[in-house]
A and B are shown apart, each in its own frame.
Chain A
Amino acid sequence: MNIINLFRISLKALYSNKFRALLTMLGIIIGVAAVIAMLAIGQGSKQSIQDEISKMGSNMLMIQPGADMFQGARMSASATQTMVLEDYEAIKANCTYLAAVSPMVNANGQAIYGSNNTPVGMQGVNEDFLHIRKFTINSGRMFSEREIAVSAKVCVLGQTVVEDLFGAGVDPVGKSIRYNKIPFEVIGVLSEKGENGMGQDQDNVILAPYTTVQKRIMAITYLQGIYTSTTNEEVTQKAKAEVEAIMRSQHNIKEGDSDDFNVRSQQEMLTMFSSTSTVMTILLAVIAGISLIVGGIGIMNIMFVSVTERTREIGLRMAVGARGRDILSQFLIEAVLISVLGGIIGVAIGVGSASIIRNTLHWPVVITSFSIVLSFAVCTFTGVFFGWYPAKKAANLDPIDAIRYE
C-alpha cells in the first residue's frame, strides 16, 4: 500500500474519533506550547541582555587592579592601588589592537546646583571614553586634551543629572555646579542612554578629566582602571593577550607568578550571561522532554485501545492481502499524525501565547525557528517511539484470530 493511502486511512481513523484524538494530543500540545513559549521568553531576555551589553560600549576591554574580581574575594586596599598612569601610557603606546584607551578613576559624592542636590558618581576619564562607552555629546562639547593636562574643573553631565539638578528642558551648558564642594563648569551634556542590562541608569553620571578627579577630588595618584576599545570584535583575544603581556612587564611579574590585575572583555560578559541562560535552556529542555514522554505514553495507551478496537479490521485487511508491514505502517502513521498534529497545534498556541506576552507584558520575546524545528523533530520521534509497540502488536496478529475477534 502506498504512503498516500496510508495517510488517508490514518486521517480517517483519527477523524472518526476526533474527540479522543484531541484528548490524546493534549499532552503533546501542552508540552510543545510550553516549550515554545518558554524558549521564546528565555531567548528574548538573553537577546535583550546581549543587546544591552553590546550597547554598553564598543568591544570594550576593561583592565582593573587585583586578581579576577568575579571570584568574589575582597582585595586589600594596597592591592587595588597598583595601577598607575605609566601602565596607561604603556598600553596606549604599545598595543596595536586598540582603537581607544582611557584611564578611569571613580569619585563618589554630591552634585549641587542652587538648592538642588543629587548623589552621583564622577568618572575621571579622557576624551576617548566617549567612543569606548558609545556615549555621544548632546549639547556643548567634550573636554579637551589641554583641559586634561591642566586638570581643568570642567565636566560633562548625563541626562539624569541634568534633570535632577536643573529640571527638564534647561540647557546647563555654561552653568556652574559644585561637586563635593568644588565648583565645576558644565561644558557639555551626554545623549540619553537608558538602563543597562543590570538595570543601572547609565545617564546618572558626570564625566570629568581624570587628572582633575585624581588631584582635586580624590587626592590619589593611582588609577582605578583602564578602559579600552579594540579595533574590532575579532581581535579581542589578541588584544587581551597583548594588554596582559604589557601589564606583566610593567609590573615586573615573573613567569609563574599570578597577575595583580585582570582584563575582562565585553565578550566575556556576554558569554557569562549566556551561560546562565544556557542552564535555563537545559532545564526547559528537560521539562519539555518529560512532558513529551507523558504525552507519548498517552499516545501509546490510545494506540493500544485503537488496535484492540480494530482487531477485526486488521484481520480483514490481512485476509485481503495486507502484509504485517502494511499494518505496522498504518498504525505507526496514525501515532505520528497524532503527535505531529499535536505538535502543530502546540506550536501555534506557543507562538500565540508568546506574542500575547510580548504585547501585554512587553517582555522581550524571540521565537527561533530552531525551537519550532526541534519541536517537530521531537514530536515525530515521540510518535514513532511510542507508536511502535502497539503497531507491532497489530502487525503480529494472526489473521484468523483477528477476524473472529468479538
Chain B
Amino acid sequence: MSEIIKALNLKREFMVGNQKVLALKGISFAVHAGEFVTFMGASGSGKSTLLNILGCLDTPSEGEYLLDGISVKSMSKNERARLRNRKIGFVFQTYNLLPRTTALENVELPLMYNPEISSHDRREKAKMVLEAVGLANRMDHTPNQMSGGQQQRVAIARALVNDPVIILADEATGNLDTRTSYEIMALFQQLNANGKTIAFVTHEPDIAAFSQRSIVLRDGRITRDEVISKPASAADALAGLPKEEE
C-alpha cells in the first residue's frame, strides 16, 4: 500500500523569548493509505504541533516530510496553500465554521479556492458530502441554528469535499458529549471503511480505541506505536449507551 505520510526525524523548535522550546524532538513514522491512526499523549506532548506539520500549515525545523510522495520541506507558502487545498481535509476541535453562512456554503469553501472546479460542480459536490454525513435536510441552516454535533458534521463534510488523501482531526470530539462523540467516531469509522485515511488527535483512550493504530507521544517523542488488532465499533458503543431520557 502506498505511503500517504512519511515523517523522517521531524523536529520542531520554537523560540520563546530567547529560550528554545523543543516541541518535537525527532519523530519518524509512516501512514499508509486506508489507515485510521490516532495520536495520544499528555497536554503539551506535541500532538498539535505534529498535526500542523502533517497538514502543511507549519514546516519542521529539521527532518523530512513527504505527503503523498511530495516533499513539503522546500515548498513556498503558496505551494503549501495549494497542497492543503487539494490533498488535505482539516477538522478542528472548535468546528471553525463561518458564522451567518449556511452549511452548504461552509462546505463549498475549500472548492472556492480551486479555480478548476466550476460553481455547478462545487455545489453538487458539497450537497453530496453533506448527504454523506447525514445532513441532507440541514443544508440551509447556519451554524447558530445547529447543535455542536451537527456543526462538527458540517466541518467533516467540509474536510471531505475536496477528496483529500488524508483527513487530519485535532481533538474533533473534544467539545462534544459522549453520545455525540461516539456518533462522530461512527462517522469517521464509516468514512475509513470507505477508504479514507484518517489521522486523529485525542487524549481520550476510549476514542483511540475506535482506531486501528495508536501512536503515543510524550515530550516530543514517540513512546509507543501499536496496531489495535480489534478496533471497537463506535456504532456498537453507541447502541450500548443507556437510553436517553424521554
Which residues in A have some Cβ–Cβ distance to B below 8 Å? Answer: 1-2, 5, 12, 16, 312-313, 315-326, 399-400, 403
Contact = CB atoms under 8 A, between A and B. Distances in A.
Contact of A321 (B52, B81, B92, B100): B81
A394 to B, nearest CB: 14
B100 A318 contact: no
Interface in B35-81: 52, 55, 57-58, 77-78, 81
**6 nearest interchain CB pairs?**
A321-B85, A320-B110, A321-B113, A323-B81, A316-B96, A323-B78
A321 B82 contact: yes
Contacts of A2: 115
Contact of A322 (B52, B58, B81, B90): B81
Interface string B141-169: 00000000000000000100010000000
Contacts of B58: 400
Contacts of A316: 96, 98, 109
Contacts of A321: 81-82, 84-86, 110, 113-114, 162
Nearest to B90: A319
Contacts of A322: 81, 113
A318 B81 contact: yes
Given A323-B113, A324-B77, A400-B58, 4 more contacts: A316-B109, A319-B57, A320-B162, A321-B86
Given A320-B90, A321-B113, A400 B81 contact: no
Contacts of B113: 1, 317, 320-323, 326
B112 A399 contact: no
19 contacts: A1-B113, A5-B112, A12-B101, A313-B98, A316-B98, A316-B109, A318-B81, A319-B55, A319-B96, A320-B109, A320-B110, A321-B110, A321-B113, A324-B77, A324-B81, A325-B78, A400-B52, A400-B57, A403-B92
Interface of B: 52, 55, 57-58, 77-78, 81-82, 84-86, 90, 92, 96, 98, 100-101, 109-110, 112-115, 158, 162
Contacts of B100: 12, 16
A324 B78 contact: yes
Contacts of B90: 319-320
Contacts of A317: 109, 113
Nearest to A13: B100
B176 to A, nearest CB: 19
Contacts of A12: 100-101
A1 B109 CA distance: 10
Contacts of A16: 100
A316 B110 CA distance: 10
B112 A1 contact: yes
A12 B115 CA distance: 21
A326 B84 CA distance: 15
